[in-house]
Structure 1
Amino acid sequence: MTDAALPRPTARPLAVSNWLLTLCGLIIVMVVVGGITRLTESGLSITEWKPISGAIPPVTEAQWLREFELYKRIPEYQQINRGMSLADFKNIFFWEWVHRQLGRVIGLAALLPLVWFAAKKAIPAGYGWRTGSIFLLVCVQGAIGWWMVASGLTERTDVSHVRLAVHLLTALFIFGWALWTALDLRSAGARPRRVPTLGLWAFAALLLQLLFGAYVAGLDAGYAFNSWPLMGDELYPSAAPWLEPFLRNFVDNPITVQFIHRWWAFVVLVFAVVLARRLRGVSRRHSIFLHSAIGLQILLGIWTLLSGVSLHVAAAHQATAVLVVASFVAGVHRLARVGASASTSLGTSGTEERDYTPLVPSEAEGR
C-alpha cells in the first residue's frame, strides 16, 4: 500500500496538526538558542523576571547602566567577570534577551491558535485537554526557566545543573508531546495512538541520555576530558575524585557524568537500531531518519569533546538532540499505527484501517 492511496485527514484536524508542528519548529529554535546562551555564559545577565515589560530591551545609556549595575551585584560578576566592560555585558545580555523573547513568542504561538481553534470548534473530540496541556506546559516552562536563573543570583556563580536539566527535559517533553499529538491528528479519523512496549523502553533510554547530557552542560563536564574513546589514557580515570555519598557521583561529579553520557549513547543507539529494523519494512524513510539522527548525534558528541567544546559544534550537538527526539517520536508513532492497523485488520475480517502518513504525504512508499 502506498501513501498516495491512503485517505487524508479532514481540513480541521490537519490545521490543528500544522499549528502544533509550527510550535515544534519554534521549540527547536528555542533549544538551539538556549544552548548558545549556556555556552556563552549569558544566562545570568538579566537578573529580573518581567514577563511583560521585560520584552523591551535597554535603549538609552542610563537603562544599560542600570542593567549592568544589577548584574554587578551577583556572584558571577564579582567572582568571575569583575572588570567586564559594558560592551562585553551587552554581548551576553543579547543572548539571554533573545532566549526570553523566544519564550514569549512560543507562549503566544501556543495560546492564540488554541483560542482560535477552540472558538471555531475545530479541535477534534478528545484533543481539547491535550492541546490545552501543551499551552499549560509552556507556561510552566517559563516559570521553570526563572527558577533555574534564580539559582545563580545569590550564592552560586552559575545556575544549578539540576534545575538546568529540569528546564531542558521539560522543553523536550513539550516538543515530543506536541509532535505525537500532531501525528495523531494526521491519522485518518485523528485516532490517538498508544506507545508500544518497545517505544516505552526506547523513550526511557533516551530520557536518561538527555538527562546526563543536561548534567554535562550544567557542570561544564565537557571540558573535563577532551579525548575519545579514552578519558586521558584510561577508560575511566583511576585518579578521579569520588563524592560521598556514592550516588552523588551520578549527579554532581563532572567526570562520572561525562563518562556515563559518553557510553550510554551506545545503549540508545542499540534501541535506535532495533526501532529502525522494525520500521524498515514499514516506512523506509522513518528508518533512515532514525539512523541518520542518532548517527549524526554520536559523531557530533565526539567532535564536541575533541574540539574542546567549540561553540558551534556544541550548539549543533544540542540542536541534533531535538532531531533525535523527533526521530524516536515519529518512528515509535509509526509503529503504533502499524500495530493499530494490524489489530483493526484482525478484528474486521481483513478490513485494514488506513492511515495518512504524516511526513511528506506525496512520497509513496511500499509496505
Structure 2
Amino acid sequence: MSSSLPRHADMAPHHRRLISNWLFVLCFMLLGMIAIGGVTRLTGSGLSIMDWQPVSGIIPPLSHAEWERLFALYKTIPQYHLQHEGFGLEGFQKIFWAEWIHRFWGRLMGLVLFVPLVWFTIRGMITRKLALRLFLFFILGALQGAIGWFMVASGFRPDSTAVEPVRLVLHLSAALALYLAVLWTAFSIRWPQPQTVPATPAAHRTKRLVWAALCLICITIIAGGFTAGTHAGFVFNTFPLMDGHLIPQDYARLTPFWLNWVDNKAAIQFDHRLLATLTALTIGCVLLVGLRTRGLGAKAHNALMLLGWAVLIQYALGVTTLLLVVPVWAGAVHQTFAAVLLGVMLYVLHNLRGVSTR
C-alpha cells in the first residue's frame, strides 16, 4: 500500500462510516469485557482457571474427566478452602464458566480487530499510518491478556484468596487505555475535521476544565480499582457519613502515610468518594461554563448535556452500589458505566478539538 494514500479527511465517506462503525463495535465489546470482568471479580471466579493457554484455552472442558482435573487443580489454592470448600463440581462449573467467558470474549475481540484490519489493509481502504496504529492496538490487546494472567497468578499464592489490588488496577487501567485509544481513533475517522471555534477566553476555559475533569475521572477510576481490589466497598455502607463521620477516624492508621491509599479500607473508600464528588463538581463547572459559551456549536453543547446526565447516573450508581453492599449486578454496572462516562468525556473533548488550550 502506498504511503501517499489519503488521510482520514480524504477517505471516501462510506469507507469512513464502515471503518468507524467497526471500531465502535470494538469499543462496545471492550465495555462488555469490562462488565464481564466485574462479574468475575465479584463472584470470585477469576481464579477458577489455573492454566494460561492463549490458543487451546478457547476450547472448554469436553469430558467429565477434564472437569475433575480442573476442579482438582482449583482445590489446591487457598481460595477454595477459605471461600468455596464443599461446593462441589457443580459450584465449580458456575465460577469456571464466568472466567472462561471473560477469556473467550478477549480472544473474540482479537479476531474482530485483526481479521477486518487485514481485509481493509489489503483493499487499500486505510492508510499505512492507520493500519500500523490499529495493528499496535492488536498487540496491546494481546499484552492485556498477559497482564490479566499476571494479575490472576497473584491469587495462587499460599497466603492469598484474591488477586493483588495493584495488579487488578494495572489490568483495569490497561483495558481503559486501549478503550480510549480505539474510541478516539473511531471519532477521528468518523468526524475528521475539527470544528472551528472562536478563540474566546470562555472557550479556552471550557477546554481546560474538560481536561481537568478527564484527569479526575481517570484518577477516580484508579481509586475505584483499589476499592474493588481490597473489598473496601463492603465496609462503611452508609452515605454521606462513614460510621457517623465525614472522614473515617482510622483514615491515617498506617505508616508511612501513603500506604493508607492502597491498603487501608477506610481511607481507600473515602478517597474514592471524595474523588467522585470532586469529579462531579468539576463536570458541573464544565457545564456551567461550556453551555454559556457561544461558538462551540450545537454538537458540542449536546455532548456537554450528555456528559451531565452521564455523571449523574454514575454518581447515583456508586451510591446505590455502596448502600446495597455491592451486589454483583450493581458492582458490575457501576464499573462498566465508569468507562461509559469516560467515553462521553472523550467525545466532549473531541468536539472541542478546534479550541486552543493556550
Query: Aligning the two structures, in what range does the TM-score lie when normalised by the shorter sequence?
Result: 0.7 to 0.9
Question: Do the aligned residues in 2 keep the contact of 1:76 with 1:158 (CA within 8 Å)?
Answer: yes
Separation of aligned partners in 2, 1:154 and 1:251: 20
Q: Paired residue for 1:358?
A: none
Q: CA deviation at 1:279?
A: 4.7
1:204-243 alignment runs, 5 A limit? 204-239=215-250, 242-243=253-254
* Aligned-partner residue type, residue 244 of structure 1: T
Q: CA deviation at 1:206?
A: 1.2
Q: Paired residue for 2:44?
A: 41
Q: Paired residue for 2:199?
A: none
With over 3 angstroms needed to count, the CA separation of the structure-2 counterparts of 1:240 and 1:189, relative to structure 1, is closer
Q: Indicate which of 86, 89, 95 corresponds to 1:86.
A: 89
Percent of aligned pairs with the same residue? Answer: 37
Q: CA deviation at 1:51?
A: 1.0
Separation of aligned partners in 2, 1:129 and 1:270: 39
Separation of aligned partners in 1, 2:194 and 2:145: 30
Question: Do the aligned residues in 2 keep the contact of 1:275 with 1:331 (CA within 8 Å)?
Answer: no
Q: Indicate which of 187, 201, 214 corresponds to 2:212.
A: 201
Q: Paired residue for 2:355?
A: 339
The reply on whether 1:292 has 2:309 as its aligned counterpart is yes
The reply on whether 1:178 has 2:182 as its aligned counterpart is yes
User: Superposition RMSD on alpha carbons, in Å?
Assistant: 2.4
Q: CA deviation at 1:330?
A: 0.4
Q: Indicate which of 15, 19, 40 corresponds to 1:16.
A: 19
Separation of aligned partners in 1, 2:239 and 2:125: 52
Q: CA deviation at 1:11?
A: 2.2
Separation of aligned partners in 2, 1:35 and 1:304: 13
The reply on whether 1:57 has 2:60 as its aligned counterpart is yes
Separation of aligned partners in 2, 1:184 and 1:278: 25
Separation of aligned partners in 1, 2:324 and 2:82: 27
* Aligned-partner residue type, residue 180 of structure 2: G
Stretches of structure 1 that go unaligned for 5 or more consecutive residues are: 1-6, 344-367
Q: Paired residue for 1:320?
A: 337
Q: Indicate which of 152, 159, 184 corresponds to 1:149.
A: 152
Question: Do the aligned residues in 2 keep the contact of 1:272 with 1:328 (CA within 8 Å)?
Answer: no
1:243-258 alignment runs, 5 A limit? 243-258=254-269
Larger CA deviation: 316-325 vs 36-45: 316-325
Question: Do the aligned residues in 2 keep the contact of 1:219 with 1:254 (CA within 8 Å)?
Answer: yes
Question: Do the aligned residues in 2 keep the contact of 1:148 with 1:167 (CA within 8 Å)?
Answer: yes
Question: Do the aligned residues in 1 keep the contact of 2:194 with 2:351 (CA within 8 Å)?
Answer: no
The reply on whether 1:165 has 2:176 as its aligned counterpart is no
SS at match of 2:155: coil
Q: Which structure 1 residue ranges, 4+ long, deviate > 3 Å from structure 2? A: 188-191, 196-200, 274-281
The reply on whether 1:268 has 2:279 as its aligned counterpart is yes
Separation of aligned partners in 1, 2:176 and 2:130: 20
Stretches of structure 2 that go unaligned for 5 or more consecutive residues are: 1-9, 196-206
The reply on whether 1:115 has 2:118 as its aligned counterpart is yes
Question: Do the aligned residues in 1 keep the contact of 2:248 with 2:270 (CA within 8 Å)?
Answer: no
1:133-148 alignment runs, 5 A limit? 133-148=136-151
Q: CA deviation at 1:16?
A: 1.8
* Aligned-partner residue type, residue 339 of structure 1: V
Separation of aligned partners in 2, 1:201 and 1:152: 35
Per-residue CA deviations over 1:290-326 (Å, capped at 9, x if unaligned) read 0111110000100111101122211211121111011
Separation of aligned partners in 2, 1:203 and 1:116: 35
The reply on whether 1:69 has 2:72 as its aligned counterpart is yes
Separation of aligned partners in 2, 1:125 and 1:55: 32
Q: Paired residue for 1:4?
A: none
Instruction: Provide the aligned length of Structure 1 versus Structure 2.
Output: 332
Q: CA deviation at 1:246?
A: 1.2
Separation of aligned partners in 1, 2:349 and 2:121: 29
Per-residue CA deviations over 1:124-158 (Å, capped at 9, x if unaligned) read 36423322222121111111100000111123211
Separation of aligned partners in 2, 1:299 and 1:254: 21
Question: Do the aligned residues in 2 keep the contact of 1:279 with 1:287 (CA within 8 Å)?
Answer: yes
SS at match of 1:121: coil
Q: What is the TM-score of this pair, normalised by structure 2?
A: 0.87
Separation of aligned partners in 2, 1:316 and 1:177: 22
With over 3 angstroms needed to count, the CA separation of the structure-2 counterparts of 1:8 and 1:130, relative to structure 1, is closer
Separation of aligned partners in 2, 1:240 and 1:329: 33
Separation of aligned partners in 2, 1:74 and 1:157: 8
SS at match of 2:124: coil
